[in-house]
Amino acid sequence: MKRREFLKKTGAGGLLAGSLITAAPAVHAGAKINWKMVTTWPKNFPGLGTGANNLARLITEMSGGRLRVKVYGAKELVPAFEVFDAVSRGTAEMGHGAAYYWKGKAPMAQFFAAVPFGMTAQEMNAWLYYGGGEKLWRDLYQRFNIIPAAAGNTGVQMGGWFNKEINSVADLKGLKMRIPGLGAEVLKRAGGTPVSLPGGEIYTSLQSGAIDATEWVGPYNDLAFGLYKAAKYYYYPGWHEPGSVLEALISKKAYADLPRDLQSIVMNACKIVNTDMLAEYTARNNTALHTLVSKHKVKLRPFPDDVLKKLAQLSEQVVQEVAAKDKAAQKIYQSFHSFREQAMAWHKISEQAFMRAREL
């Protein structure tokens, strides 16, 4: 009672309550922070470009507008393949792309995008979040002043578009094909000629005959690009990209300058987009495939078993050679390989077994 009377007389109760009321909005106070996000994708391209848009929107909305992110498509601020350098130099605070595009700077970056005959989206996420993969990824990018984060996944991709049927390994010899990452080196060893092209240049190159074949993503994106107009043979599965991770590139300095709550928002927004993109591709791919086959008369073909077996053999050679370059590369390879074996053993009696049972 004495305490209550004291608070009434001094007005301390009102002062305390007032301080709590005015302190709460302080989380959203302060100067607005503006970030630029450069991407390797055409502006607003379905799935990939819109995934980058969603990431920017989530960060802006979740921060209450304190951290605003503006997205630039490929060539709007920098060319598609200069996104990594732009973030590394601080020209942009964020980037969105795929790690195999930077193999010239860090060959092992490819392990954090897609490894031929590697891991599915579900397995990649498990390795990154709970198998030590994310830490290895961040250690690899540290010297470039970049923090990477998974920010999307396409799931298993298609094998690509071809102007002729692939009936044997011999049909790959001399084939000029747009294909990135480790898959490009595998194709080269099979006798083909890999070509590096950003997404926005694929259609015209295929149509003009500058390339004989191309892989891009899957039915959802391939339909949007109109690739069916330039080639009719559509092969599966995407042996080269079984679960392609899209990455957010975050400037280490820009991230360090953020308060801790905004840092948390950035990273959690990446996780949301990572899950959302995979769900979108799963929802839209089959409808798009039906349109390609039924309306546009695309000829859907599986790769022959002997072609896949040969590509798998060559893939193992390529992967091991890249991993043998130095101790850091070996460390990433060992972690990836060990987790892949573990995931395969479990999925043999879970995912694979269920899918077989479902088709009985």
Residues 209 and 141 in one domain: no
Output the CA angle 263-265-266, nearest 5 degrees.
65
pLDDT for 26 equals: 38
Per-residue pLDDT tens over the stretch 102-130 = 999 999 999 999 999 999 999 999 999 99
DSSP 8-class letter at 239: T
Q: For residue 358, how many other CB atoms are within 10 A of its CB?
A: 7
* Residue 237 and residue 103 in one domain: no
Q: Give the CATH number for residue 185.
A: 3.40.190.10
Say whether pLDDT at 275 is over 80.
yes
Per-residue model confidence (pLDDT) at position 58: 98
**Could you give the number of structural domains in the chain?**
2
Do residues 170 and 206 both lie within one domain?
Answer: yes
> Does one domain contain both 194 and 253?
no
CA dist list (Å): 43 to 5, 50, 95, 266, 328? 65, 8, 13, 21, 35
Q: What mean pLDDT do residues 153-165 have?
A: 98
Q: Are residues 277 and 209 in the same domain?
A: no
12 in a domain, yes or no?
Answer: no
* Whether residues 181 and 253 fall in one domain: no
Q: List, for residues 15-24, the tens digit of each pLDDT value.
A: 333 333 333 3
The last residue of a domain, from among 282, 312, 334: 282
Confidence bin at 30 (pLDDT 50/70/90): low
- Give the mean model confidence (pLDDT) for residues 255-264: 98
Average pLDDT of every residue of the chain: 93
Q: How far apart are CA 175 and CA 153, in angstroms?
A: 28
Asked whether residue 272 falls in the same domain as residue 301, the answer is no
> Which helix or strand (DSSP H or E) is residue 289 part of?
helix 260-290
Residue 339 in domain: no
Q: What are phi and psi of 162, to 5 degrees?
A: -135, 150
The CATH number given to whatever domain includes residue 149 is 3.40.190.170
Domain co-membership, 96 together with 223 = no
Would the pTM count as exceeding 0.85?
yes
pLDDT tens string 286-304: 999 999 999 999 999 999 9
Note whether 148 and 250 are within 8 A (CB).
yes
Place of tokens 């002729």: 164
| Greater pLDDT, 70 or 7 | 70
Do residues 227 and 110 both lie within one domain? no
Of the listed ranges 14-23, 83-92, 207-216, 266-275, the least confidently predicted one is 14-23
Q: Is 14's pLDDT higher than 80?
A: no
Minimum mean pLDDT range among 28-37, 150-159, 178-187, 286-295: 28-37
Same domain for 148 and 277, yes or no, is: yes
The answer to whether position 340 is within a domain reads no
What would the mean pLDDT of 326-350 be, rounded to a whole number? 97
Give the pLDDT confidence score for residue 2 in this predicted structure. 47
One domain for residues 210 and 289: yes
Number of alpha carbons in the 13 Å side-chain half-sphere of residue 206: 29
Containing domain of residue 196, as a range?
A: 160-242+283-325
Nearest C-alpha neighbor of 147 from the set 180, 112, 117 = 112
- The tens digit of pLDDT for each residue in 184-204 reads 999 999 999 999 999 999 999
Q: Could you read off the pLDDT of 222-241 as tens digits, one per residue?
A: 999 999 999 999 999 999 99
What's the confidence (pLDDT) of residue 31? 81
Query: Is 18 within the bounds of a domain?
Result: no
Domain assignment present for residue 72? The answer is: yes
- Give the Cα-Cα-Cα angle 174, 176, 181 (nearest 5 degrees): 115
Q: Compute the distance between CA of residue 347 and CA of residue 102 in angstroms, rounded to an integer.
A: 31
Whether 17 maps to a domain, the answer reads no
Residues 164 and 308 in one domain: yes
Among candidate residues 233, 47, 52, the one with its CA nearest the CA of residue 155: 47
Residue 344 lies in a domain: no
Mean pLDDT over 6-14 rounds to 42
Residue 216 lies in a domain: yes
